[in-house]
Structure 1
Amino acid sequence: MSRREFEAPARLVRALGHAPDAAREDAAGWPAKVPDLVEEVTARLGLSVERVQLPGGRSSVVVLVRRPDGTPAALKLAPPGAHPEREAAALAHWDGHGACLLLDASVPGALLLERLQPDVTLRSLPEAKALLEAAGTVRRLWVEPPAEHGFAYVAERTEAPAAAMATVDDEIRPLATAALDARAELLAEPAEQLLLHGEFHQGKVLAGERTHWLAVGPVPVVGERAYELARPALDRLDDLVASSSGASTARRRVGRLADSLDVDRDRLRGWTLFRAVDDALVSLREGRRSRAELLLEFAAWL
């Protein structure tokens, strides 16, 4: 296999180039190191390479590999600042219940994971069925966090997005202000503190062999279930916005999600508003203006 086949996916390269932190230069230069990293890590773990998973995500490179005994696996390589050790800690705590199994985390910056079906996500199902399966999967992840964990809490996770919302231009300011008000109100009320996936949506749930559907790619955080469900509420946004009854459909979706998992509707609406505006600002930074406009339209419906 040629070195070119080890190159980082284009969407990851674009995302790293728009990283909003001090590590941007290191992160943006990381894709050029991927071929050497693949060779180094696979040699250390005795893996044989099949192919890089494309199109890939915006936060890592996933290489489909086989272990020395021929067992299929997935090797995930994370760029600087991605904190794969936190993902490893969450996966180890779940131990395969609702999420893929962690097979090896001995090499810094790399995770060896259970191989799922990378091209089959919940988005391949009709929407009603996908929402049902998503609810069943995410419910299994909501457990007490391990003692003395190092995961961020929702209040900490949302600090940087809140700071970004406070500096938006006049066009977005009304929605940003509403999102900030919602966050402040939600954080002022006592809430459950469970281990959450952090970035759960239909594209993060893959078909598996030992069970039908398993989550991948957690960015673990400790907080309430309503924060977690805000991301699934934004799934298939293109179809929702294109609907002639988009506003009422959006509100019904939030209500169905809340009711299916016994979550307070108002808290889910508030976190969905906040996360929609946050995602819109990220999309604008990355040059995905059409996506940002969809998110802001959705946010306005809430």
Structure 2
Amino acid sequence: MRVQENFARNIQSSFKEEGRAWLEQLPELIQYCEEKWKLQIKEPYCLSFNYVAPALRKGGGEVVIKLGVPGKGISNEYEALKHLNGIVPLIDADLDKGVLILEKIEPGNTLSELTNESEICQIAAKVVKKMIVSTPPQTHLPSTLDRETDMKHICKQSLDQLGPFSNATLKRSAKVFAYLNKTMKEPMLVHGDFHHYNVLSNGPDSWVAIDPKGLIGEVEYDLIQFFMNCLPENGAFGVIENRVEQLTQELNLNLQRLLLWGYAHSVLSSAWTVDEKTGNYDKLFSQCPDIFKELYHKRFQQTIDDFLEKAS
């Protein structure tokens, strides 16, 4: 069995020895799934951190099988799939083996394939409006407090510079995280990784979200990754500004908190892309913190530093 090279690297980088062992056992796991659910698993899609492939059912019809290293990632996705609305339907699962069986979305085109920005934002707003629910009781899902902890850890580990970011930028992001978490009034269960590639067409004028991470936080936070994706090489400021305006209106969001979350999360998300060995990082993502900082100054006639000083 040949495994996609990028997928193998991701698994081994993220899960170390556990990941290497899981990759070695992957053929046996696929056979186990075929026997347990009476499936014929076909060639996988382009893979990142999970083995995802269409599969034929013995009685007819297709499903999608998702295999991941057992643990919090798969368990969190399972819980999110059970609670969120307007999400790809979950058929069955075996969490001990890291297996999710999902309904196959047809035709399955992603939101990234559309070109009209206004239409893209309208669809995204409809999906988000339907998807978000109240925080489920006794949940073990991560929250934006965990993201704040991640940011603070990065600050401590990067005392000078991390990729394009100074330690001052990292600390500012951590302070914004702390303020927004402290002042959050009504945390919700949100997708946790909402962007163009995780919204699929499900028939005429119908779209659903896939691959939820499951996160407790605000809708304003959940949209930031969407704003950062599918940006042009030139003119990213205007694209993000228009997305912010349209989604703020359509979802009745708090613009100030949205832009502050935009700054905080775009620093964190960009920091995650930095390869400390090579120094490489995602250059489209890394321009976003300055864009959100400029948008905040433009809309509220003060800098984020001024805001933090007054808020402290």
User: TM-score higher than 0.5 here?
Assistant: yes
Equivalent position of 1:72 in the other structure:
62
3-state DSSP of counterpart to 1:158: helix
C-alpha displacement at 1:290, in angstroms?
6.1
The RMSD of aligned alpha carbons is: 2.4
In the alignment, residue 195 of structure 2 is paired with which amino acid?
H
Alignment of 1:118-267 (within 5 A): 120-126=109-115, 127-168=117-158, 169-170=160-161, 172-173=165-166, 174-209=168-203, 212-237=206-231, 239=232, 241-243=233-235, 246-267=236-257
CA distance in 1, matches of 2:196, 2:137: 29
C-alpha displacement at 1:292, in angstroms?
2.5
CA distance in 2, matches of 1:27, 1:191: 39
Residues 27 and 80 of structure 1 are in contact (CA less than 8 Å); yes or no, is this contact kept in structure 2?
no
CA distance in 1, matches of 2:230, 2:259: 17
Equivalent position of 1:102 in the other structure:
90
CA distance in 1, matches of 2:33, 2:278: 33
3-state DSSP of counterpart to 2:208: strand
Equivalent position of 2:22 in the other structure:
30
CA distance in 2, matches of 1:39, 1:135: 40
Specify every segment of 5 or more residues in structure 2 that has no aligned partner in the other structure, as ranges. 293-312
3-state DSSP of counterpart to 1:206: strand
CA distance in 2, matches of 1:92, 1:211: 24
Q: In the TM superposition, what whole-angstrom CA distance separates every residue of 1:12-55 from its partner, at most 9, and x where no partner exists? A: 22323332xxx4321244333322211111211111122211x1
C-alpha displacement at 1:167, in angstroms?
2.9
* CA distance 1:268–1:74, shift in 2 (3 Å): same
Asked if residue 281 in structure 1 is aligned to residue 271 in structure 2, the reply is: yes
CA distance in 1, matches of 2:278, 2:54: 29
* CA distance 1:276–1:107, shift in 2 (3 Å): closer
* CA distance 1:290–1:260, shift in 2 (3 Å): farther
C-alpha displacement at 1:276, in angstroms?
1.4
CA distance in 1, matches of 2:278, 2:101: 31
CA distance in 1, matches of 2:126, 2:94: 31
3-state DSSP of counterpart to 1:131: helix
Residues 166 and 177 of structure 1 are in contact (CA less than 8 Å); yes or no, is this contact kept in structure 2?
no
Aligned residues, how many? 286
In the alignment, residue 196 of structure 1 is paired with which amino acid?
V
3-state DSSP of counterpart to 1:285: coil
Equivalent position of 2:261 in the other structure:
271
* CA distance 1:35–1:82, shift in 2 (3 Å): farther
In the alignment, residue 86 of structure 2 is paired with which amino acid?
G
Specify every segment of 5 or more residues in structure 1 that has no aligned partner in the other structure, as ranges. none
CA distance in 1, matches of 2:22, 2:277: 20
CA distance in 2, matches of 1:14, 1:275: 25
Asked if residue 39 in structure 1 is aligned to residue 31 in structure 2, the reply is: yes
In the alignment, residue 213 of structure 2 is paired with which amino acid?
V
C-alpha displacement at 1:288, in angstroms?
8.8
Residues 233 and 253 of structure 1 are in contact (CA less than 8 Å); yes or no, is this contact kept in structure 2?
yes
CA distance in 1, matches of 2:275, 2:81: 30
CA distance in 2, matches of 1:203, 1:286: 26
